[in-house]
């Protein structure tokens, strides 16, 4: 077994642990706009815990969503770029290099209604492309090491993103899906179909799952392997369930089970492992300890 790279955990989770109240629509991006130093502090905490990949606070940032909060296009672009600069500063402050992945959230993130776990937007490919194109271009030129296109719920949105990535050279990406069970992404398509689609997308160098229940990940990795030979990245949530109506999590975190499963994911060849919602610096520290004696 080769040691996987350690991805950080959830920004929203970590910010709540630091005492911040999340913005109702922008979540951690709202905290970033108000106090970017808090996000830098959290990035540093994840690095200290053992994270080697930092995912930026740009997940909820879109030109449409930021305009709703009063930011014009120039200010929105500056905010997106600033998330990468903040992660870079954290790595410099911590004193060791880190891979900075510019987060690209799905269309559902701007809706703030939980539709990134369903994919039922009611939009066609042209509308999805119009939403994603400019933001992708800004983040592509931001100085990030790669793009983290994450929590994608539908095959159609993944197809649109692949087409947009092919319009430009110069930066690699991973695409990770939100999934409903151990076989299907959120919109009901098989994960093997999604990974086969990405196999034909040169800019995508890794395929994965995130913000998905950890007990589904091993089977999902098998499904990814059916369609693609690309590297696999997995960073599930804690195992709790998000209720978009009541805006709260339910269920319990079982850290020991998460770590046990993480060993299994590494044995199955995961390139990188981390956490998403409800996984904070403390759990990432324990995750890094699981693999500290494993050859890289």
Distance (Å, rounded) from C-alpha 170 to C-alpha 231?
19
- SS3 call for 236: coil
Whole-prediction pTM value?
Answer: 0.93
Mean pLDDT confidence for 95-120: 91
**CA atoms of 38 and 265, how far apart (whole Å):** 31
Average pLDDT over residues 19-43: 91
Residue 238's pLDDT band (cuts 50, 70, 90)? confident
Q: For 137, phi and psi rounded to 5 degrees? A: -65, -40
More reliable by pLDDT, 1 or 38: 38
Query: pLDDT category, 202, cuts 50, 70, 90?
Result: very high
**pLDDT by residue (tens digit) across 62-86?**
999 999 999 999 999 999 999 999 9
Average pLDDT over the chain reads 92
The percent of residues in the chain predicted with pLDDT above 90, rounded, is 78
Residue in this structure with the two tokens 């077994």, named with its chain if needed: 1
Cα–Cα distance measured from residue 27 to residue 102, given in angstroms and rounded to the nearest whole number: 16
Q: What's the CA gap between 174 and 183, in Å, rounded?
A: 19
Domains and CATH numbers, the chain: 5-290 (3.20.20.330)
State mean pLDDT over 254-269: 91
Terminal CA-to-CA distance of the chain, rounded, Å?
Answer: 9
- Give dist(CA 202, CA 284) in Å, integer: 30
* Cβ neighbour number for residue 37 with a 10 Å cutoff: 10
Computed from CA positions of residues 263, 209, 281, 296, in that sequence, does the dihedral angle turn out positive or negative?
Answer: positive
| φ and ψ at residue 111, rounded to 5 degrees | -75, -25
Structure confidence at residue 241 (pLDDT) = 60
The model's confidence at residue 255, banded by pLDDT at 50, 70 and 90, is: confident
């Amino acid at each position: 077994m080769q040691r996987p790279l350690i991805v950080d955990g959830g920004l929203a989770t970590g910010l709540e642990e630091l005492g911040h109240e999340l913005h109702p629509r922008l979540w951690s991006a709202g905290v970033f706009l108000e106090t970017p130093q808090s996000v830098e502090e959290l990035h540093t905490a994840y690095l200290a815990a053992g994270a080697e990949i930092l995912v930026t606070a740009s997940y909820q940032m879109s030109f449409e969503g930021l305009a709703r909060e009063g930011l014009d296009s120039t200010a929105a672009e500056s905010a997106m770029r600033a998330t990468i600069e903040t992660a870079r500063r954290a790595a410099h402050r911590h004193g060791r290099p880190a891979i900075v992945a510019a987060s690209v959230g799905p269309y559902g993130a701007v809706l703030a209604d939980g539709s990134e776990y369903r994919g039922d937007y009611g939009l066609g490919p042209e509308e999805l492309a119009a939403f994603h194109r400019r933001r992708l271009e800004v983040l592509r030129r931001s100085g990030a090491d790669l793009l983290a296109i994450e929590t994608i719920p539908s095959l159609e949105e993944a197809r649109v993103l692949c087409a947009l990535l092919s319009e430009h050279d110069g930066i690699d990406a991973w695409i990770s899906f939100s999934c409903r069970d151990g076989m299907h992404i959120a919109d009901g398509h098989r994960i093997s179909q999604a990974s086969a689609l990405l196999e034909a997308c040169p800019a995508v160098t890794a395929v994965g799952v995130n913000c998905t229940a950890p007990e589904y990940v091993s089977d999902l990795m098998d499904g990814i392997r059916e369609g693609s030979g690309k590297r696999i990245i997995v960073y599930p949530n804690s195992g709790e369930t998000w209720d978009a109506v009541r805006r709260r999590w339910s269920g319990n975190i079982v850290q020991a089970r998460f770590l046990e499963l993480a060993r299994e994911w590494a044995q199955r060849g995961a390139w990188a492992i981390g956490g998403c919602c409800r996984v904070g610096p403390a759990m990432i520290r324990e995750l890094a300890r699981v693999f500290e004696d494993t050859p890289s």
